[in-house]
Amino acid sequence: MRSLFLVLLLANLVVLLWWVQKPEPHSAETILPSVAPERELQLLSERINDTATVTPTPEIAPITEVTQGADLLEAPMSSMNNDAAINAAETATDKAALKPGEKLAENSVNSVADKLNAKPIEKPSEKPTTKTTVARACYTIGPFRDAQFAKDAIRQLREKGLKVDERVKVEREQSGYRVYLPSFGSRDKATEAAAQLATHDIRDYFVITDEADKENGISLGLFRQKDGAIKRMASVRRYGFKPIMETRYREQEIHWLDYSETTAPLSENGWREIAEGIPDLQRLSRDCPIN
């Protein structure tokens, strides 16, 4: 009995295990029949009246499904002719859909290509500004041998609004002529010659003692004009002497004034005021310096 009980128990466990692991069958979708609504009882006369008042409903055309043909799937994607035809059809459709006054938009491929190839908008270069040059004239006034005359001219020019620059040059200029008798070799001989000049009524002479190259000579005078020096030589030469004429020089500061005219030129009256009392004063045109 015990063995039978164990066999039955084992069989039940096997069946239970099989039942638990058994997959559930797919349940079929049950379609319930539609229940028609209950219809109320209606008299024959009411139905006739309803039929007369109801407007017949127009028939609605059946909607047909748009399916893609198998030919579209089988068409080769690499055909350039088909692509061109499709693009042409799309362009025509777009043109037909546009409103009046609107422009046809470029397709996306051409728009991207144009954006990639588009050059940046260049800003128009500004024209260089040119400086307005004011015409000016430049002059030099001089020479001023007197420093005070130069200072007065500078003041007058600046009072007239002119910019003035002063230049000072040391020049060697002729100061006159000297007539003399060369050295006699000794002081005694020079004194003896001077006594002879006195006997011929020749005055204004002296024995030279402070100049090395003319020491023991006799100076016969200094002359501003050359004609006076020549006459002196002639008067001494007649008595057997051999006088010498020498040109004398001196160093002197010469002042020159440089100025330029722009909006306030120097008038003729202004120039006459500056040149008054200076007979050899000149106004010379010159090149203007580059600033």
Instruction: Report the C-alpha gap between 49 and 151 in whole angstroms.
Output: 137
Instruction: Report the C-alpha gap between 19 and 16 in whole angstroms.
Output: 5
What fold does the segment set 137-172+252-286 form as a domain? Alpha-Beta Plaits (3.30.70)
Q: Kind and range of the H or E element at 155?
A: helix 147-159
Domains of the chain: which residue ranges? 137-172+252-286, 173-250
What pLDDT, on the 0 to 100 scale, is given for residue 80? 47
Instruction: State the helix-helix crossing angle for 268-275 and 147-159, rounded to 10 degrees.
Output: 160
What pLDDT, on the 0 to 100 scale, is given for residue 17? 85
What pLDDT, on the 0 to 100 scale, is given for residue 277? 87
- For 284, residues 6+ apart whose C-beta sits below 8 A from its C-beta are 139, 140, 141, 142
- Please report, in tens digits, the pLDDT of each residue of the chain (291 residues total): 778 888 888 888 888 888 777 666 555 454 455 555 555 555 555 554 554 444 555 554 444 444 444 444 344 444 445 555 455 545 544 544 444 444 444 455 455 455 555 555 666 556 555 555 557 789 999 999 999 999 999 999 999 888 899 999 998 989 999 999 999 999 999 999 999 999 999 989 999 998 989 999 999 999 999 999 999 999 999 999 999 999 999 999 999 999 988 766 788 888 899 999 898 999 999 999 886
What pLDDT, on the 0 to 100 scale, is given for residue 75? 45
Instruction: Report the C-alpha gap between 275 and 266 in whole angstroms.
Output: 13
At residue 287's C-alpha, the angle toward residues 281 and 289, to 5°, is 115
**Which architecture, in CATH terms, is 173-250?**
2-Layer Sandwich (3.30)
> Which of 229, 235, 234, 236 lies closest to 194, judged by CA?
236
